[in-house]
Amino acid sequence: MITWIGIDDTDTYDKGCTTYVMYNMLKEFLKTRGEWRIINYPRLIRLNPNVPFKTRGNAAVSVGLNIDDPREALELAEWAVDAFSHKVGKTSPGIVVSTSNNEHWIYWKALTDVIPLNTAIRWMNKLGVIYKGGRGVIGALASVMADLNLDSTLELLAYSELTPKPSIPINLIKKLNDSTSPLTFENMDDEYVLIQPHGNDPVVFGIRGDSPHHIIHFASMLMSEIDVEPRWLIYLTNQATGHHVSSIVNKPYTIGYVEGSVNDVKLVEGGNIEVNVNSTPVFSYRHYGFKSIDKATYLIAYGGFKPGINNLDLYMEGGFALIIKGTVKNPKCPRCGSGLESTGRVGLLKCPKCGLITGLPKLMNYASEFLLEEPRGSEVRHLHKPIVRVGLEGLVKAFNRPSLWII
Ligand code: ATP
| pLDDT given at position 130 | 97
Q: What are phi and psi of 175, to 5 degrees?
A: -65, -45
pLDDT in tens, 120-137: 999 999 999 999 999 999
- CA triplet 188, 373, 251: central angle to 5 degrees? 110
Q: Of ligand 1's atoms, which has the minimum distance to the CA of residue 92?
A: 18
Q: What burial class does residue 354 get, using C-beta atoms within 10 Å of its C-beta: 0-12 exposed, 13-18 middle, 19+ buried?
A: exposed
Q: How many helices (H) and strands (E) does the chain have?
A: 7, 20
Dist. CA 281–CA 298, nearest whole Å: 14
Residue 201 CB less than 6 A away from ligand 1:
no
- State in Å: Cα 247 to ligand 1 middle: 19
Give the helix ranges, DSSP H, for 163-211.
170-180
Dist. CA 405–CA 253, nearest whole Å: 35
Least confident of 19-23, 174-178, 265-269: 265-269
Contact at 8 Å (CB) between 302 and 316? yes
Mean pLDDT score, 55-62: 87
Residue 58 CB less than 6 A away from ligand 1:
yes
- State in Å: Cα 268 to ligand 1 middle: 31
Pocket test for ligand 1, best of 7, 10, 13, 47 (most atoms within 8 A of CB): 47
| pLDDT given at position 273 | 94
Range of 53-57, 238-242, 248-252 with top mean pLDDT: 238-242
| pLDDT given at position 11 | 74
Least confident of 85-89, 269-273, 363-367: 85-89
Neighbours of 400 (CB within 10 A): 9
Mean pLDDT score, 10-29: 86
Residue 88 CB less than 6 A away from ligand 1:
no
pLDDT at 14 over 60: no
| pLDDT given at position 211 | 98
Q: 100-104: long-range contacts at Cβ-Cβ below 8 A with a sequence spacing of 24 or more?
A: 100/4, 100/127, 101/2, 101/4, 101/62, 101/64, 101/144, 101/145, 101/146, 102/145, 103/127, 103/145, 104/145, 104/146, 104/147
* Closest protein CA for atom 17 of ligand 1: 136
Neighbours of 386 (CB within 10 A): 16
Residue 8 CB less than 6 A away from ligand 1:
yes
- The per-residue b/e assignment along 14-50, b for 16 or more CB within 10 angstroms, e otherwise, is eebbbbbbbbbbbeebeeeeeeeebbebbbbbbbbbb
| Cα torsion through 206, 209, 213, 217, rounded to 10 | -40
Q: Of ligand 1's atoms, which has the minimum distance to the CA of residue 46?
A: 7
pLDDT at 56 over 80: no
Dist. CA 182–CA 202, nearest whole Å: 27
Q: Alpha carbon 123 to chain centroid distance?
A: 26
pLDDT in tens, 338-360: 999 999 898 899 999 999 999 99
Q: What is the pTM of this model?
A: 0.87
Q: Of ligand 1's atoms, which has the minimum distance to the CA of residue 116?
A: 29
Pocket test for ligand 1, best of 7, 8, 44 (most atoms within 8 A of CB): 8
Residue 57 CB less than 6 A away from ligand 1:
yes
With cut-offs at 50, 70 and 90, classify the pLDDT of residue 291. confident
With cut-offs at 50, 70 and 90, classify the pLDDT of residue 225. very high
Residue 359 to residues 329, 334, 347, Cα–Cα distance (Å): 14, 11, 6
Answer whether the bond into residue 164 is a cis peptide, omega within 30°: yes
In one letter, which amino acid is 84? F
Dist. CA 228–CA 232, nearest whole Å: 11
Secondary structure (DSSP) of 209-236: ES-HHHHHHHHHHHHTTS-S---EEEEE
Non-local CB neighbours of 118 within 8 Å, separated by 6+ positions: none
| pLDDT given at position 51 | 85
pLDDT at 327 over 90: no
pLDDT at 8 over 60: yes
| pLDDT given at position 12 | 64
| pLDDT given at position 328 | 87
Looking at every residue in the chain, the average pLDDT score rounds to: 92
With cut-offs at 50, 70 and 90, classify the pLDDT of residue 376. confident
Dist. CA 23–CA 4, nearest whole Å: 15
Dist. CA 64–CA 144, nearest whole Å: 8
Percent composition of the chain: helix, strand, coil (DSSP 3-state, to 5): 25, 35, 40
% of the chain exceeding 70 in pLDDT: 97
Mean pLDDT score, 161-190: 93
With cut-offs at 50, 70 and 90, classify the pLDDT of residue 55. low
Least confident of 1-5, 170-174, 251-255, 279-283: 251-255
With cut-offs at 50, 70 and 90, classify the pLDDT of residue 15. low
| pLDDT given at position 321 | 94
Dist. CA 135–CA 8, nearest whole Å: 8
Q: Of ligand 1's atoms, which has the minimum distance to the CA of residue 8?
A: 11
Least confident of 63-67, 151-155, 281-285, 376-380: 376-380
Contact at 8 Å (CB) between 326 and 367? yes
| pLDDT given at position 96 | 98
Residue 67 CB less than 6 A away from ligand 1:
no
SS (H, E, C) 25-56: HHHHHHHHCCHHHEEEEEEEEECCCCCCCCCC
Kind and range of the H or E run holding 371: strand 363-373
| Cα torsion through 137, 139, 140, 144, rounded to 10 | 140
Residue 155 CB less than 6 A away from ligand 1:
no
